[in-house]
Amino acid sequence: MEPRLIFAAANTYIRNVKWSKPKIDAESEWIYIGLDDNMMNYEKVILDYFITDELYVSLNRRESFQTNKQSIINKIKPLIGTEDFSIWNWSFQKVIEFNKIGIYRIGINESKT
């Protein structure tokens, strides 16, 4: 899929996402993950959440891309701490949104359930 189409789909579907809270009494759906060089935290979150191998990374109209679970960490490493981005499964049903300050949130696109 072309970068502009990935970005457009992500921007369309993000409006229908129901964000999961880490705890029932949590004030926010955002979870601190950090910005350190230890990519194991990011890898665990991504690999545990996504079942399918094909993933889309939505960054902007020109730099969004398609990848797979095996190479996702190497591809997002330069983005961590510098860009806000989201990772979607192939059907744009599940998403993880990462913020450049070291937090993330997980959600389900309710229009696709």
Q: What is the pTM of this model?
A: 0.93
Q: Mean of the per-residue pLDDT values for the chain?
A: 93
What pLDDT was estimated at residue 37? 66
Q: How many CB atoms lie within 10 A of CB 88?
A: 26
Say if residue 24's pLDDT is above 70: yes
Tens of pLDDT, residues 34-63: 887 667 889 999 999 999 999 999 999 999
Give Cα separations from 108 to 63, 76, 82, 86, 87 (angstroms): 23, 21, 25, 13, 12
**Cα(56)–Cα(88) distance, rounded to whole angstroms?**
5
Region 75-90: mean pLDDT is 95
Can you tell me which residue has the tokens 């029932």?
24
